[in-house]
Amino acid sequence: MSSRFYNKILLTLFVSLLPFAGCSSAPSVNKVKKVLYVTHEPGRWHKYTPQKGFFQEISDAAGWETTVCTGSYDELIEKMKAKAFAKGYDAIVYNFCLAKSKETEACSNAIAQTREHGVPALLIHCSMHSFWSTYANRDKKAKYERVGEHYLANTEVVADWKRNHSDKPFPIWGTFTGIASDKHGPSKPIKCIKVKDNHPALHRVTDGFTTGNTELYNNVYVADGVVPILRGEQIIGKGKLATAIILWESPQGKSKSMGFTLGHDVSDWSIPDFRYIIEDSVNYLINGTK
């Protein structure tokens, strides 16, 4: 048998065995995606208990393994202070309202899960309106100081942070969300228009779909690197048009965050396009950061 013919046989055998060479890595390709859903119940301004149920339906449809982190406000804050509370998860989904919270330890640690530990995060609705004391002048009785080019923080909160963390930068929630927001419009329908038509989070979404009565969050500042994905338009007052970015992504250290400001009313969670955005945004975050 010639060496040339012998080499041809070896090559044929090698090619035929290629599909088996990757068997040991197959489980990682088909690994169930682990999602951490962070909320608190029952919620004062939002109905977080039924929303938790709707999210579980989205999770079941997506085939995720979802763990719910919930409890009262105080219980949630303590859980968010745990050093690596998102360890082992592929993505975090925040759906809470901590607007008046001055708990910078919890704020900083939540940011660290994404920036330092590399777990991507999706923030829904009032998650944007959280930890206002770190970036927005919302308490007219308090003093504020500039903590960045575009942000104001409660002076007492900044001083307290410096006393305990002189070696760490002050946590600014508005830079973590990517687009800072400090107020919203009336509860009226929002028309949703694609800004980045080819984004994976929108591949099942109908351009121009309209919500029921819900809130349009303002955009007071857009951080560097933010990519707008979806814009909302709402008719307010006497035919006046309000517009704001309602879905975006933002680079955050070792990973990224996404902000999605719809979701105030329970009815939002029944809209197919809303559900598609949640599911496809989480899958995008997981697949796009590995």
Measured torsion, CA atoms of residues 152, 155, 157, 159, in degrees rounded to the nearest 10: 130
3-state secondary structure of 106: helix
d(CA 82, CA 278): 26
Indicate the pTM of the whole model: 0.88
Band of residue 289 on the pLDDT scale cut at 50, 70, 90: low
Q: Report how far apart, in Å, the C-alpha atoms of 102 and of each of 73, 131, 136, 218 are.
A: 12, 6, 12, 22
User: What pLDDT, in 10s, does the model give residues 81-118?
Assistant: 999 999 999 999 999 999 999 999 999 999 999 999 99
Interatomic CA distance for residues 282 and 126, integer angstroms: 18
CATH class of 31-183+246-288: alpha beta
Report whether pLDDT(30) > 90.
no
Q: For the chain, which residues make up each domain, given as ranges?
A: 31-183+246-288
In the predicted structure, residue 16 carries a pLDDT above the cut 50: no
For the chain, what is the mean pLDDT? 89
pLDDT per residue over 247-270, tens digit each? 999 999 999 999 999 999 889 999
Q: How far apart are CA 248 and CA 232, in angstroms?
A: 12
Residues in the chain: 290
